Amino acid sequence: MPDAAYGVRMRVLVSGGAGFIGSHTVIQLIAAGHDVLIVDNFANAKPTVIGRLESIIGGHLQVHAFDLRDADQTERLFAHERIDAVIHFAGHKAVGQSIKQPLAYYENNLGSTFVLVAAMARHGVSKLVFSSSATVYGANATVPMKEDFPTSATNPYGWTKVMIEQILCDVAVAQPSWRIALMRYFNPVGAHASGTIGEDPSGVPNNLLPYICQVAVGRLEKLRIFGDDYDTPDGTPLRDYIHVEDLAAGHVAALARLTSTDRAVSTWNLGTGTGTSVFNMLHAFERAVGRELPYEVVGRRTGDIAASYADPGRANAELGWTATRTIDDMCVDAWRWQSQNPNGYPDA
């Protein structure tokens, strides 16, 4: 049945739907009139997120708790359910861990994609939105980054994204009726406006905003700023922070676009187009919390680049989508989530 705002209504399988970006996307898919099924192995997500999602959407969610690498379970899911499209978020995403455990990263991220795509092909499901990353622009790209830049990576996690993009392009050559979207995210932050859904990393956070959140809530002593001697206005690196709600909206728009495009593979940057420094992000968060936060400047982190921000022009033009939330919005929403859930999601 057509929906005025978002085109054709679909039954969408969301892999990794219990995760940070997946959970926010589930909410917006349902708000846009789509039907959603989640598949998640809960390796990096707590089952309690599901109840919170159900409170927000005011309904029941169909959740399949298994690992996509389980080919039998994946086949059964596609055999028993009508699925019109897949959004594939599931995957490991910690850069440092991927360097220590490369085989586990390749095995998990590529293996789950092979099983998923093979099941889609067997069951005639030909629309796929893939959760890629700006990390595919590698270490030497100029800014702003554009979709036609060459791809490369600096760590196994990044290579899994480069490789899966390549694999999906090859699938599209073999099966030209497929419609595939490669979504290259910049730095997703923020949380749902309710404060009940947000980012809940396991262990000590690697990323800037979750780390600042835990300093603000007293779980960590102080922020360590990894270098202030970069060639940037205040010496700290520039990143394109994008509100997870804007990112989620980009997926809904991409799904709609896949129903009308003639291109087998579409690549879209999801970013704001603006680079924000570490100091600017810290100060925005301090405004949200209403007090100064402790920090110290330490040495550079291996692998960090000075500047990474998107040219979001293609997504703006082709998806009719623009990121609208400001850095202050991102910090206010992240702080609402963290202050209401100082220890993240409860275990039960």
Please give the positions annotated as active site: 157
Name the nearest CA neighbour of 147 among 324, 312, 306.
312
Which CB sits closer to ligand UFG, 61 or 306? 306
What residues line the site for ligand UFG (CB under 6 A)? 93, 95, 133-135, 158, 187, 206-208, 211, 224-226, 237, 239, 278, 301, 304, 308
CA dist 122 → 45, 118, 336 (Å): 29, 6, 44
Characterize the bridge pairing of strands 295-298 and 276-277.
Answer: unpaired
* Three-state SS letters, 246-315: HHHHHHHHHHHHHCCCCCCEEEEEECCCCCEEHHHHHHHHHHHHCCCCCEEEECCCCCCCCEECECCHHH
Least separation in angstroms between residue 68's CB and ligand UFG is: 20
Eight-state DSSP code of residue 344: -
In angstroms and rounded to an integer, the radius of gyration of the C-alpha atoms of the chain is: 19
Least separation in angstroms between residue 232's CB and ligand UFG is: 9
Characterize the bridge pairing of strands 187-189 and 241-243.
Answer: parallel
Q: What is the C-alpha separation between 265 and 65, in angstroms, rounded?
A: 29
Furthest-apart CA atoms within the chain: distance in Å? 57
Question: Hey, what are 149's tokens?
Answer: 């830049």
Least separation in angstroms between residue 135's CB and ligand UFG is: 3
Which CB sits closer to ligand UFG, 13 or 334? 334
Which CB sits closer to ligand UFG, 256 or 289? 289
Least separation in angstroms between residue 180's CB and ligand UFG is: 20
Eight-state DSSP code of residue 320: -
Least separation in angstroms between residue 158's CB and ligand UFG is: 6
